[in-house]
């Protein structure tokens, strides 16, 4: 099977102004890794990150941006692309993140509740539009992973690919933050379901070998992998992993 090039994307999740990681999206299972998100972003940049994945967990829970000031400082400090998610449920909010310099804006819950929000943002920012699909047992999770929706992952992804979304982030909640390896089968199926769009995998990555295995899936539209807890716990060195993947 032909390997595909996978870009390693370090994640910074912000809760209460601090860098944290959650296990399986559970807000009660939180580990704080840094009190300074800006310094953390600079660390990942200096270790070779090409893009940083930033999530406002407070925003995801409340349904509106909470840490936008911190995120703007991060974007300006690092000088590399940043993709932003968490609490982006209106076109106005998405536009605000685009205006402060976000390279990509990630929609989640809003996509299910009001698809017109994404359609409107797509018209002005097609390259910045990302749909984050959080999955559990083939179903879509919403509101910061606190609820399961009746729509399936397959139905939702196909619908928005047809609408014109060119990039998806697929997160498997069952593996996220557990360091037990990605759900390769579901990632592969997801890539096949949106063959014309780029896919970024998230959840469960605990080693460079996990990332190599994603590359060995041979999916040409699988462009990246988001890594969080494995970096913070020291299981993966970002600098060494990037060099190995080259």
Averages of pLDDT over runs of 10 residues in the chain (246 residues) are: 83 94 75 93 98 94 92 98 94 96 91 89 96 86 60 91 96 67 92 97 92 95 95 94 89
What the block records as the tokens of 237 is 């060195």
Which distant-in-sequence residues (6+ apart) come within 8 Å of 30 by Cβ? 15, 20, 21, 22
Which conformational region is residue 218 in: left (phi greater than 0), alpha (psi within -120 to 50 degrees), or beta? Answer: left
Angle (nearest 5°) at CA 157 between 155 and 158? 65
End-to-end distance of the chain based on CA atoms, in angstroms? 18
List the domain boundaries for the chain.
7-245
d(CA 96, CA 89): 12
Indicate the pairing of strand 82-85 with strand 52-56.
Answer: parallel
Just give the CATH number of 7-245: 3.20.20.70
pLDDT for the residue numbered 40: 97
Helices (H), the chain: 37-46, 57-62, 68-78, 91-99, 109-113, 115-124, 153-163, 184-193, 208-216, 229-232, 238-245
Residues labelled as active-site residues? 13, 134
Q: Are the C-beta atoms of 63 and 143 separated by less than 8 Å?
A: yes
**Helix, strand, coil percentages, rounded to 5, for the chain:** 40, 30, 35
């Amino acid at each position: 099977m032909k390997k595909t090039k996978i870009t390693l994307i370090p994640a910074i999740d912000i809760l209460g102004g601090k860098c944290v990681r959650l296990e399986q999206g559970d807000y009660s299972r939180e580990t704080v890794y840094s009190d300074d998100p800006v310094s953390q972003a600079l660390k990942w940049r200096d270790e070779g990150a090409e893009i940083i994945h930033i999530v406002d967990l407070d925003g995801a829970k409340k349904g509106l941006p909470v840490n936008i000031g911190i995120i703007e400082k991060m974007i300006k400090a690092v000088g590399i692309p940043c993709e932003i998610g968490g609490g982006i449920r209106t076109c106005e909010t998405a536009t605000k993140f685009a205006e402060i310099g976000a390279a990509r804006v990630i929609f989640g819950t809003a996509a299910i509740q009001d698809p017109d929000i994404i359609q409107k943002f797509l018209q002005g920012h097609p390259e910045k539009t990302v749909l984050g699909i959080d999955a559990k047992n083939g179903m879509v999770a919403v509101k910061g992973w606190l609820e399961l929706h009746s729509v399936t992952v397959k139905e939702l992804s196909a619908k928005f690919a047809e609408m014109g979304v060119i990039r998806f982030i697929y997160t498997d909640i069952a593996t996220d933050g557990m360091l037990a390896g990605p759900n390769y089968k579901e990632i592969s199926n997801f890539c096949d379901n949106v063959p014309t769009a780029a896919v970024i995998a998230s959840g469960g990555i605990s080693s460079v070998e996990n990332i190599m295995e994603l590359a060995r899936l041979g999916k040409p539209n699988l462009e990246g992998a988001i890594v969080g807890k494995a970096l913070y716990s020291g299981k993966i060195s970002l600098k060494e992993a990037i060099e190995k993947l080259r």
